[in-house]
């Protein structure tokens, strides 16, 4: 029988080494190089890890050439059309969708009840200055959560892992809302368990200190269910995405045996960067900078100028060499909401669509396979939901939380060794 191996030949010595190929259910196989150094005294070199699989995973799958993203084997479009974000959280952390409506509702209700914060944690926000970026507040607050749940270090059971994940998913919207309100000097509004997980988040952002959402001559303002549905879908579309920079950070940090909340806090910092989740904030700033649809060609020319570091934010991806399926879903959601009465900023929408149209026909983008990514259109919807730009990346954090928690559980259970890459030394 033909062996499933790859042979590495050292052309200077003639030595040959066989390495096993690791089987997978979808996508490219991997060469098992875990003993490469031991056997050859040579490292593999792959800065940015473009060709390196750091773990085995069953959580999400991306086929970057064919615009496919699966959560636990199910295409994201099917999930967001039929299931809520809390159902998708269950799918990611448990491996299965809720079996029935009751299970789905019970889980969502549990999240509502776990959304409160220890009062001591609230004092931490008070120490941050007005105007601080909510991502900075958020990563510190999530790190601090580990001081309130010390028990976790001793827990080593499915029940313990799931409690860790549920707490984190439940509390993150409250942390985001509090960090935002703190950053603008507004008093905090506590969770309202009569409201759904997603509605409660909008409530905590928008409510006046007396708990009302505002008054008009017709009476009290309420949250539009269409807004809740839109935000639910945005969270769902961000729920997991393979071994991206922030997830890899979470796994690396958790591999040291640290408290999972400390690892997630590190993931939040990794996500903040403009090359990663921070791009959604930059996209909106860029649309404002472009200012008018007539300026689009000028900005596309800047992208192509080798002497100009300008990049089109919300474009390009390490894995997608075709249209990001999340961007496609977010673009249709934007159009659908606009038709249903949640009005998008017409100028931003027009500039973004023209940018996409021009870019997709341009040789520079075609050659490099650069398409809009998840961050390109999400900010336009979030603006229509009256969410401030500084909260775009924290919104991404809420969406990604079930993914990070599932990755933490998978990593711990796999018994993986501490992450410890090598280097090619070039110094004195």
Asked if residue 243 binds ligand ACO (CB under 6 A), the reply is: no
Q: Which stretch binds ligand ACO (CB under 6 A): 178-186, 313-321, 328-336, 387-395?
A: 313-321
Supply the minimum distance, in Å, between the C-beta of residue 389 and ligand ACO.
15
With CB under 6 A, what is the number of residues at the site for ligand ACO? Answer: 19
Residues comprising the chain, all counted: 428
Asked if residue 403 binds ligand ACO (CB under 6 A), the reply is: no
Residue 115 phi, psi dihedral angles, 5° rounding? -75, -10
- Write the CB contacts of 108 (distance below 8 Å, at least 6 apart in sequence): 84, 86, 196, 197
Q: Which stretch binds ligand ACO (CB under 6 A): 24-32, 197-205, 270-278, 339-347?
A: 270-278
- The correct pick among 93, 230, 268, 312 for binding ligand ACO (CB under 6 A) is 312
- The correct pick among 314, 325, 394, 402 for binding ligand ACO (CB under 6 A) is 314
Cβ proximity of 277 and 396 under 8 Å? yes
Q: Which residue has the tokens 């999340």?
A: 326
Q: How far apart are CA 294 and CA 88, in angstroms?
A: 41
Nearer to ligand ACO, 85 or 299 (CB): 299
Asked if residue 318 binds ligand ACO (CB under 6 A), the reply is: yes
Q: How far apart are CA 171 and CA 168, in angstroms?
A: 5
Cβ proximity of 58 and 72 under 8 Å? yes
Tokens for 206, please give them: 């928008």
Residue 74 phi, psi dihedral angles, 5° rounding? -110, 130
Asked if residue 393 binds ligand ACO (CB under 6 A), the reply is: no
- The correct pick among 275, 285, 295, 332 for binding ligand ACO (CB under 6 A) is 275
Eight-state DSSP code of residue 370: -
Binding mask 354-373 for ligand ACO (x = CB under 6 A): --------------x-x--x
113 is catalytic: no
Eight-state DSSP code of residue 211: S
Q: How far apart are CA 217 and CA 220, in angstroms?
A: 8
Supply the minimum distance, in Å, between the C-beta of residue 296 and ligand ACO.
14
Asked if residue 399 binds ligand ACO (CB under 6 A), the reply is: no
Q: Dihedral angle at the C-alpha atoms of 178, 184, 186, 188, nearest 10 degrees?
A: 0
Cβ proximity of 219 and 113 under 8 Å? no
- The correct pick among 228, 253, 313, 342 for binding ligand ACO (CB under 6 A) is 313
Asked if residue 60 binds ligand ACO (CB under 6 A), the reply is: no
Asked if residue 65 binds ligand ACO (CB under 6 A), the reply is: no
Q: How far apart are CA 414 and CA 408, in angstroms?
A: 10
Query: 259, 317, 324, 411: which one is catalytic?
Result: 317
- The correct pick among 143, 242, 316, 394 for binding ligand ACO (CB under 6 A) is 316
Beta bridge partners of 372: 315
Asked if residue 173 binds ligand ACO (CB under 6 A), the reply is: no
Q: How far apart are CA 170 and CA 227, in angstroms?
A: 19
Cβ proximity of 241 and 69 under 8 Å? yes
Supply the minimum distance, in Å, between the C-beta of residue 327 and ligand ACO.
9
For the segment 288-307, give every residue that binds ligand ACO (CB under 6 A).
303
| Greatest pairwise CA separation for the chain in angstroms | 86
Say whether 62 sits in a helix, a strand or coil.
strand
- The correct pick among 87, 229, 281, 375 for binding ligand ACO (CB under 6 A) is 375
218 is catalytic: no
Asked if residue 279 binds ligand ACO (CB under 6 A), the reply is: yes
Nearer to ligand ACO, 4 or 65 (CB): 65
Asked if residue 235 binds ligand ACO (CB under 6 A), the reply is: no
Cβ proximity of 120 and 149 under 8 Å? no
Asked if residue 311 binds ligand ACO (CB under 6 A), the reply is: yes
User: What does the binding site for ligand ACO look like in residue numbers (CB under 6 A)?
Assistant: 244, 275-277, 279, 303, 311-318, 368, 370, 373-375
Hey, which residues are catalytic here? Answer: 317, 375
């Amino acid at each position: 029988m033909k062996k499933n191996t790859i042979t590495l030949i050292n052309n200077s010595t003639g030595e040959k080494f066989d390495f096993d190929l690791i089987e997978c259910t979808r996508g490219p196989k991997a060469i098992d190089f875990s003993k490469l150094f031991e056997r050859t005294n040579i490292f593999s070199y792959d800065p940015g890890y473009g060709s390196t699989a750091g773990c085995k995973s069953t959580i999400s799958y991306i086929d970057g050439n064919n615009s496919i993203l699966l959560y636990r084997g199910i295409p994201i479009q099917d999930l967001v059309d039929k299931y809520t974000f809390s159902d998708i959280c269950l799918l990611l952390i448990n491996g299965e969708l809720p079996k029935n409506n009751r299970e789905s509702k019970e889980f969502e209700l549990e999240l509502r009840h776990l959304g409160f914060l220890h009062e001591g944690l609230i004092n931490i926000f008070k120490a941050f200055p007005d105007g601080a970026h909510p991502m900075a507040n958020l990563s510190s607050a999530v790190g601090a959560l580990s001081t309130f749940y010390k028990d976790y270090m001793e827990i080593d059971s499915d029940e313990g892992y799931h409690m860790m994940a549920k707490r984190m998913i439940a509390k993150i919207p409250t942390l985001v809302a509090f960090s935002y309100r703190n950053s603008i000097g507004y008093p905090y509004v506590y969770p309202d368990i009569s409201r759904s997980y997603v509605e409660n988040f909008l409530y905590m952002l928008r409510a006046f200190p007396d708990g009302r959402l505002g008054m008009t001559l017709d009476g009290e303002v309420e949250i539009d269910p269409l807004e809740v549905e839109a935000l639910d879908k945005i969270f769902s579309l961000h729920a997991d995405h393979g071994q991206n920079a922030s997830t890899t950070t979470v796994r690396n940090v958790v591999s040291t045996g640290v408290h999972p909340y400390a690892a997630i806090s590190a993931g939040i910092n990794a996500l903040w960067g403009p090359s990663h989740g921070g791009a959604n904030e930059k996209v909106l700033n860029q649309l404002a900078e472009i200012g008018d649809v007539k300026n689009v060609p000028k900005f596309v020319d800047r992208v192509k100028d080798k002497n100009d570091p300008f990049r089109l934010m919300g474009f390009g991806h390490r894995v997608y060499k075709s249209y990001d399926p999340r961007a496609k879903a977010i673009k249709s959601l934007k159009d659908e909401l606009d038709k249903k009465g949640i009005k998008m900023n017409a100028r931003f929408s027009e500039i973004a669509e023209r940018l996409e149209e021009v870019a997709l026909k341009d040789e520079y983008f075609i050659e490099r396979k650069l398409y809009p990514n998840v961050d390109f259109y999400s900010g336009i919807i979030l603006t229509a939901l009256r969410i401030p730009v500084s909260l775009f990346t924290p919104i991404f954090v809420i969406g990604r939380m079930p993914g990070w928690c599932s990755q933490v559980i998978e990593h711990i259970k796999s018994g993986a060794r501490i992450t410890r890459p090598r280097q090619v030394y070039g110094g004195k």
